[in-house]
Chains A and B, each alone.
Chain A
Amino acid sequence: MTNYEIVVQGHIDKRRFRDMAKIEFEYLPNGETKITCLQFDQAALHAVLTKIYDLGLNLQSLNELR
């Protein structure tokens, strides 16, 4: 189980991700959203990425938090 930090372009409504546990949102002033996924396994991470893709969001970065 790992923490991940995902950055996407645009401020996304966090209700879009409400089915997913332990997600934190931070809206950055440059128009990006930082999505922090806490204690995610690979399957949960892929679900978030799929959701991001399906919404047509541009994925800027994905990092593992240590």
Chain B
Amino acid sequence: MANPILTTKLFIPTSRPNLVFRPLLIQKITEGLAQGGKLTLVSAPAGYGKTTLITQWLKTLDRKYAWLSMDIGDNNPQRFFTYLAAALQTIDNRFGQVVGNLLRSPQLPDPDTIAVLLINQIIEEGKPIVLVLDDYHLITNEYLNRTLEFIIENSPDIFHIVFVTRHDPVLPLGRWRGRNQLTELRIDDLRFTNQEVEAFFAQTIKISLKDFHIYSLMNRTEGWIAGLQLAALSLRGREEQGINEFIEKFSGSHRYVIDFLFEEVLRLQNAEIKDFLCNTAVLSRMCATLCDELTGRNDSKNILISLEQTNLFLIPLDENRQWYRYHHLFADFLRTELEKDQETSLHKKASQWFEVNGYKAEAIEHSLAAGDVDNAVRQIKEQTNSSLINGELYTLIGWLDSLPENLVQNDSELCSYKACAYFLVAEIDKSLYYINSFRQLKKVDRLNDGRVRALEGWFANIREDKRTIELAKEAIDLMADKDLGFKVFALVALAQGQRNKGNLDESTEAFREALEISINEGYSLSVCTVSMDLVYNYYLKGNLQEAIQLCLDILHGKATGNKPLPEAGILNIPLSLFYYETNQLKLAEETVHKAIDACRRMAMSKIFGGDAERTLARIRYLQGYPEEAFTILQGGLEGAKASGLPIAVLRFEATQADLMLRLGKVHRVEQWIKKSGLSLEGEITSLKEQPYIVYVRFLLAQKFWTEAHALLVKLEEFSRRQRKGRLISILVSKAILNNALGDADEAKKNLGEAVSIAAPQNFRRSFLEEGEQVWYMLPLVQDSAPQFVAGLIEDFHLELKLAPEASKSQVVSGLIEPLSAREIEVLSLISQGLSNADITRELYISLGTVKWHINHIFAKLGVKNRTQAINKAKELELI
């Protein structure tokens, strides 16, 4: 993080010694907490003693607590969570580590991810914690509200959040109120009562007021504490006569309470102090040297101390009394005493001081407040690189949005910043808009040109646009390592583009570089996502063992300085697929559950869940639960459809079709292929390769030899170059084809090559998935890798639930003609208990045709009646 943690934000405001203690309100909060309430809401306008009440309450509390004061900059989620972690760290050091790693990724994690990690840590700690979020009304960011909602919904009862706010937060308060999880203190609860007013004046200014004084003050202020405090300042030191006069004047005035009272207070100050107050009123926080700068004095330190002592609405922000701020109502009042041009010039001076002293963000805020656009633009430009690299995105967007739009549109630097910042907060439309604006302008510098190119490459990649590789390469060249976060983006786009074109070596090289940068720079989420891509490349290249090893190295932290990353669990996704490939189904199943857990824990199932779900479905299918397999796939398919990614939908459908094919539901598969967009003329890409392999299996099952051959030629061409891992399935399919066509030599050659690639790396499912015909051929290639082939034959035995010695008879039974699609359809209707007449209606065929199909089915299955047919069909998993 570029900006150090401001400890002032974690500082619990000191309450003055002579405050009115409010036992009833404190009891109300305590009771809510004791009854397992998850949150307390203190919601009222300024000056009702909200913060004071909570600081008093905390002193009575027997739990650990943390305090965090919001400011506008906290709408930047990364900043918010950095401070939240820092606040919780004051309770336990481990909280910081949980969040810290995540925030250093170039892309913001899913909102729930951080929340889930925090909740897990809270559960692990097991100790009750109270977190106070002061001035929460300053938070308007939807992302943060959603994250907090998630935290409140999912955290255990031992975690309690107190919102101190001027406006009700945009959270489902009604729901929590209904569940009795919410304790509320609102304006009517917070108004001072008569007794409290009496106590307040007795304690603060040692005046005992008469009943009618109290009545008048209550009537005029309606228990508004800020008003009463101001009145106290004016009443201090007055005799009875003076008190009467003041009360009379106050009651008789129609003026807004605060205006009246501040004016009274200010009237009591000498001219010097008045000037000091007005000249420093533009500051949202101040220290002595800054005040010296704005007032031209050199004794601001003493003035600040005396102002605090006289209770003049000056609030210390730290224990060292270095930083202060005015009460918001007071500052606003003081500013009205300034002329407009005075105010502007003070903002400019403040901006200068903040800039020179290294407080860049405040310098920009004051330039913007002064309407000093030239300086604001210069300061924003100087600050942007660090904002982008450190992920201070919402702050950056806030600044950029305050600049006049026509100015932005004519400044290539500003356009590129907006394009990048909006991209990083996933506002894709706005990002594209500013990319377009950027491209309209002539004068562009290389770094920004490179960043925009990286974005263009990234967009091209998700659209499978051919220009991806070119754009990504240009981006990398232009940026020249000046922004490594964006370089990772460009490298990932480049690598995926290369992979999709079949250039696996180039793709792997780019992923390796992206991984190296991510490890060195501590982009922990990128380390894990890039590794996922990389191991997948290894797998496609045929280096299954290397792929498994890298998964384990990331999972165990071996690849990242012996420190497992919090997101490493997602590597279980590819790992389960690899264990599945080696036919270690039990291990694969354990791993896939870990993968799904990891995705849920990180709330990332939307992004990565697909692969894990497909692996799980295949495992369950093999374990004898085809229905469950289809349910899992259906769920995944619906999710993919909702996400709007056509390629994700296609991959789910292909897996469904593959399993249906094995169940003999050829007809359904045929329907899918017709609408899938797959065709014999279609282009093979990395993402579409698996669906096309399913297509080939369908063609082989249907005995469409010519078509199968044509498609296999294309698939082989695509995989032959660099995708040896995928070549195995393709060669096995070729062997089946050649065998069927009577070319036993060629079939043996194909299978032999497949075995020679697979054996050293232990690829097994690539054979087993192709069905029992492979089994019959395997003995022919046993010599090339005797142990491996023997193992495979054994796997086939187990999978087909047959005894090893049945091998020969099975070859014979394999010659029996398989059931046609129509016959399987009829068979499945029979199994549902439909009569012949029902079947004629269902399938729109004549009774004679139904009988004819049934005779064929009985003959092929070697059975005599319907019951036997159903049993046999179930045994063979035909229905």
What is the interface of chain A, defined by CB distance below 8 A to chain B?
A: 10-13, 15-16, 18, 27, 31, 33, 53-57
Contacts and interface: CB of A to CB of B under 8 A. Distances in A.
Given A10-B255, A13-B336, A54-B166, 10 more contacts: A10-B259, A11-B253, A12-B259, A15-B337, A18-B336, A53-B45, A54-B328, A55-B256, A55-B258, A56-B258
A54 B137 CA distance: 11
Contacts of A13: 255-256, 259, 336
Contacts of A15: 336-337
Contacts of B780: none
Contact of B256 (A10, A53, A54): A10
A56 B329 contact: yes
Contacts of B254: 10-11, 27, 31
Nearest to B255: A11
B391 interface: no
Interface residues of B, number: 21
Contacts of A33: 256
A53 B168 CA distance: 12
Contacts of A56: 45-47, 224, 226, 257-258, 329
A31 to B, nearest CB: 4
Residue from A11, A13, A33 whose CB has the most chain B CB atoms within 10 Å: A13
A49 to B, nearest CB: 11
B340 interface: yes
B374 interface: no
Interface in B298-349: 328-329, 332-333, 336-337, 340
Contacts of B255: 10-11, 13
Nearest to A31: B254
Contacts of B336: 13, 15-16, 18
Residue from B47, B255, B328 whose CB has the most chain A CB atoms within 10 Å: B255
B676 to A, nearest CB: 48
Contacts of B253: 11
Contacts of B166: 53-54
B257 A10 contact: yes
7 contacts: A11-B253, A13-B259, A15-B336, A55-B329, A55-B332, A56-B45, A56-B226
A12 B328 CA distance: 17
Contacts of B337: 15
A54 B259 contact: no
Interface string B251-282: 00111111100000000000000000000000
B220 to A, nearest CB: 10
A16 B256 CA distance: 11
A46 to B, nearest CB: 12
Interface string B654-673: 00000000000000000000
Given A13-B336, A18-B336, A57 B328 contact: no
A10 B254 CA distance: 5
A10 B261 CA distance: 13
B71 to A, nearest CB: 16
Contacts of A54: 45-46, 166, 328, 332
A65 to B, nearest CB: 23
Nearest to B221: A56
A54 B226 CA distance: 13
A31 B329 CA distance: 21
B378 to A, nearest CB: 24
A16 B328 CA distance: 13
A13 B266 CA distance: 15
Given A53-B166, A54-B46, A56-B46, A18 B256 contact: no
Contacts of B226: 56
A53 B259 CA distance: 15
A16 B331 CA distance: 11
A31 B253 CA distance: 8
B395 to A, nearest CB: 21
Contacts of A18: 336, 340
A39 B789 CA distance: 85
A56 B47 CA distance: 8
A15 B829 CA distance: 84
Contacts of A57: 256
A12 B46 contact: no
Contacts of A27: 254
A57 B257 CA distance: 9
Contacts of B257: 10, 56
A66 B439 CA distance: 46
